Amino acid sequence: MFLVDAPLVARREVARGMFVLSLDAPQIAQSVRAGQFVNLGWSPGPLLRRPFSVYRTEGDRIEVILKAVGAGTAQLLAMTASDTISCLGPLGHAFDLVAGPRSVALVSGGLGVAPMPLAAREARAAGMSVTWVHGSRTVDELCSEADGDEVIWATDDGSRGFAGTAVSAVPETDVVLACGPNRMLAAVAMRWPDAQVAVETYMGCGTGVCLGCAVPLARGGYDRACKEGPVYRAADIDWSVLPAHLPYAISA
């Protein structure tokens, strides 16, 4: 875990209102794994840091992808190239992508695309073929950057690709990884109990000390999304207790 004052070095738009920020954070770029996140803070800004999956890395840079869903994300998107953002990370447990399985489906809804480019890279390094399945409400909201041997688009309104949810568009693969609104992940859990899902919760610290990021477990009790998670075996979560109305849901 590193605490880095990272200069904002670039920004690009990848869907309507959805942006990728590049931050210069060498230690994090070199150590992060797919599914892990960084906790971003800035001043003046909100009291608490905001968690974001690492979207891509490139040399000394990490990228995060976001939309303005509240005051904090709006402030991040108002920053200019001279600004510095405090990055704490990498945090949390990564996707498990050890060699063995031959194919993986990366299933994302809306901003749930966030951990997928790194996952694609690691899966390919582990010898898997990658099926990229990305969905959103409508074509304008699809993240234009895709990275799979096969790419499947899905939109609720049918404006591009499969008309329906990303989940219903997934073909057979050995492994399923998913990220998106918690409601979508609950559907993933019904179909693929062994899928690896990256969940979203509100977080206080991101480092395991506050117990604010409670994830209700199917076996009872709670885990910490920031420490034992954010990646879980889909069937291990009690989806009826995990709040669904979080920002991923707003934006997907």
Ligand X SMILES: Cc1cc2nc3c(=O)[nH]c(=O)nc-3n(C[C@H](O)[C@H](O)[C@H](O)COP(=O)(O)OP(=O)(O)OC[C@H]3O[C@@H](n4cnc5c(N)ncnc54)[C@H](O)[C@@H]3O)c2cc1C
Ligand Y SMILES: Cc1cc2nc3c(=O)[nH]c(=O)nc-3n(C[C@H](O)[C@H](O)[C@H](O)COP(=O)(O)O)c2cc1C
Question: Which residues would be at the binding site for other proteins (CB under 8 A)?
Answer: 1-3, 41, 46-49, 88, 201-216, 220-222, 227, 241-243, 245
Does 114 engage in binding with ligand FES (CB under 6 A)? no
- Minimum CB distance to its own copies smaller for 72 or for 90: 72
User: Facing residues of 104 across strands?
Assistant: 130, 175
Q: Which of 133, 179, 205, 252 binds ligand FES (CB under 6 A)?
A: 205
Q: How far apart are CA 89 and CA 3, in angstroms?
A: 7
H or E stretch at 184: helix 182-191
Show the binding pattern over residues 227-246: x = contacts ligand FES (CB under 6 A), - = does not: x-------------------
Q: Which of 59, 82, 172, 240 binds its own copies (CB under 8 A)?
A: 82
- Minimum CB distance to ligand X smaller for 92 or for 148: 92
| Pair type for strands 2-15 and 84-91 | antiparallel
In a 13 Å sphere around the CA of 129, the CA atoms on its Cβ side amount to: 9
Show the binding pattern over residues 134-153: x = contacts its own copies (CB under 8 A), - = does not: --------------------
Does 224 engage in binding with ligand FES (CB under 6 A)? yes
Question: What does the CA dihedral 131, 202, 47, 208 come to, rounded to 10 degrees?
Answer: -90
Q: How far apart are CA 104 and CA 134, in angstroms?
A: 14
Residue ranges binding its own copies (CB under 8 A): 44-46, 71, 75, 80, 82
